[in-house]
Amino acid sequence: PCMLIVVTAILSSLSARSRACVDECPAHANTLKNCLRNAGSTSASAVTCLAHTEPTPDTRRLWDCYKLCHKGKPTSPLEPPAGADTISQDFWLLPDVSMTDKFAGTERVTAQLSRWRQGPTFGLMENKLLAHSLLDALHVPQPEVIYGAFATKPLGRWPAYSRANFTRALHGKRHFVLKSATNGGNSDVLVMTPARWEAESWNPAKLIDFVERFVRREHVKAKWWSEWGQVFEHRAVIVQESLSPKSREGFGCSEGELILEAKVHAPLGVLASGRLQALPFDSNSYLDVTFEAAGAIRCLGGRNLANATALCSRAVRLLLHHRTQLEAVAAKVTRALGADWMRLDVFLSEAGLFSVNELSYPSHIGAFTGGGDSLSIDPLVNAYKTKQLTRAPSATFLAPLFAACGIDAYDFLLAADFRGMRHASEATYASQLWQWDPAEEDEVNAVHLIKSAWCTTTLLVGVGLLLLVAWWLPKVHG
């Protein structure tokens, strides 16, 4: 009891000193100041304060002063909650699940993408650089980063993009994967091999042009808007080691050489279903599996594979070898994010490789062979409908994530690249496979505007003629 009293007194003293320090910060943003003076340096309350703030020079100065007041406070390691039954507000799907008896396929993807576009958590987990920092904090193995940088500013441990540093990092490299850190659907992805470098006449200048299309606003081919509509998008480039094998035979390679990318759906951190594709990657050939109770894995079938049964037996042996590690990663990441559902993309090999490539939400895989979406969605829907889950503010999870990844909360929440820019409506996204091009929308709207203007003009002319006739007729009969 005496020790508890001493610790409480110390914490109280530190808290009072921090509040006094914040009181000295010059600011006109009194609402934010009052909120921050009662917040801890990495607490959820500080993140909550920023979430309800608009970016201005004054709020920026106040935040910088606030950070100085808490400078030197040690960052604790990321310790995810013990259970997966507390869900972040960013993921919370109860309203959508409650409104319909069908929650699969398009309905699922549409509902999840509406969360994905607005929730700050997804700006972190779906950003390949920040997700790399998150997985590092959780001690999860992943491909080595050769070069990583943000388009407009440094964020976390990653610098702002520099042409000179990019060129220096890739000097002499011929075997790598270069990607936009925020785009999806295999857009802005370059898988480089020595053979491709020669066949397509690649050189440093051509590489620079490729990457600057998505990290430089002034590039002539830049799409400087959020194609997928994520409010908290931070454009970046990531270059990683390529794990593509020398063998080009995919599933048919020799024993011991098989490398798979497993795209695994994990509701509430539990493995449910997966799509397996052999490296080198062929999007038209795959095997689908389901993870069953008591450690079993069952093959559901495949596509464009002549001997699917034999290949699946081999793939299942590989999955079983890595299953324990895969389950541990799925559970850890889910709890750290407060996720109700997610997809893990993981590289596995017969030579012993286990490396998490990406985190994804939702997932456009909605038709597993013989199982559809139900394998991973039914457990989630049941958990919501039977009230097994509780909701928590997203800041509860974001604050420790920011601290563990070294992310400045103000830069992330208030200085996102497209935060103050125009975004499309959900209806517009749904009609274009969930992507958006403002020029295309403007072109469609222009047609409607022209038609509306024509109709309005015709109506006004008609009304004018009627009035003219009404004025003229009495004079004729008079």
- For residue 44, the model assigns a pLDDT of 82
Would you call 180 exposed, middle or buried from its count of C-beta atoms within 10 A (0-12, 13-18, 19+)?
A: buried
Global pTM reads 0.87
Task: State how far Cα 150 lies from the chain centre.
Answer: 15
Assign 177 to helix, strand or coil. Answer: strand
The amino acid occupying position 164 is A
Residues 278 and 381 in one domain: yes
Q: Is 186 part of a structural domain of the chain?
A: no
Residues 65 and 88 in one domain: no
Distances in Å between the alpha carbon of 208 and those of 17, 212, 218, 258? Answer: 49, 6, 14, 33
Residue-wise DSSP of 431-456: TTTT---HHHHHHHHHHHHHHHHHHH
Tokens at 329, concatenated: 């990663």
- For residue 478, the model assigns a pLDDT of 59
Q: Is 408 part of a structural domain of the chain?
A: yes
Q: Which residue is associated with the tokens 């066949």? A: 199
Q: Is 401 part of a structural domain of the chain?
A: yes
- For residue 157, the model assigns a pLDDT of 96
Residues 4 and 108 in one domain: no
Q: Is 238 part of a structural domain of the chain?
A: no
Residues 1 and 116 in one domain: no
Residues 399 and 296 in one domain: yes
Residues 406 and 353 in one domain: yes
- For residue 376, the model assigns a pLDDT of 87
Residues 289 and 343 in one domain: yes
Q: Which residues of 374-409 are buried (b: 16+ CB within 10 A; e: fewer)?
A: ebbbbebbebbeeeebeeebbbbbbbbbbbbbebbb
Residues 310 and 390 in one domain: yes
Residues 281 and 355 in one domain: yes
Phi first, then psi: give them for residue 365, nearest 5 degrees: -80, 105
Residues 113 and 48 in one domain: no
Q: Is 214 part of a structural domain of the chain?
A: no
- Nearest Cα neighbor of 329 from 310, 342, 315, 311 is 342
Q: Strand (E) positions, 271-389?
A: 273-278, 286-291, 297-303, 343-349, 354-360
In this structure, what DSSP letter does residue 143 have? P
Q: Is 407 part of a structural domain of the chain?
A: yes
Reading the chain (478 residues) residue by residue, the pLDDT tens digits are 554 444 344 334 445 566 778 888 877 778 898 898 887 655 788 999 998 899 999 999 999 999 888 776 656 678 777 677 999 999 999 999 998 888 877 788 889 989 999 999 999 999 999 999 999 999 999 999 999 999 999 999 999 999 999 999 999 999 999 999 998 877 899 999 999 999 999 999 999 999 999 999 999 999 898 888 899 999 999 999 999 887 778 898 899 999 999 999 999 999 999 999 999 888 889 999 999 988 899 999 898 898 889 999 999 999 999 999 999 999 999 999 999 999 999 999 999 999 999 999 988 776 777 666 788 889 999 999 999 999 999 999 999 999 999 999 999 999 999 988 887 777 676 666 677 888 877 777 765 555 666 677 777 877 778 887 777 777 666 5
Residue span of the structural domain in which 413 resides: 83-126+269-444
Q: Is 329 part of a structural domain of the chain?
A: yes
Q: Which residues of 147-176 are buried (b: 16+ CB within 10 A; e: fewer)?
A: bbbbbbeebbebeebeeeebeebbeebeeb
Q: Is 346 part of a structural domain of the chain?
A: yes
Q: How many domains does the chain have?
A: 2
Residues 341 and 369 in one domain: yes
Residues 15 and 102 in one domain: no
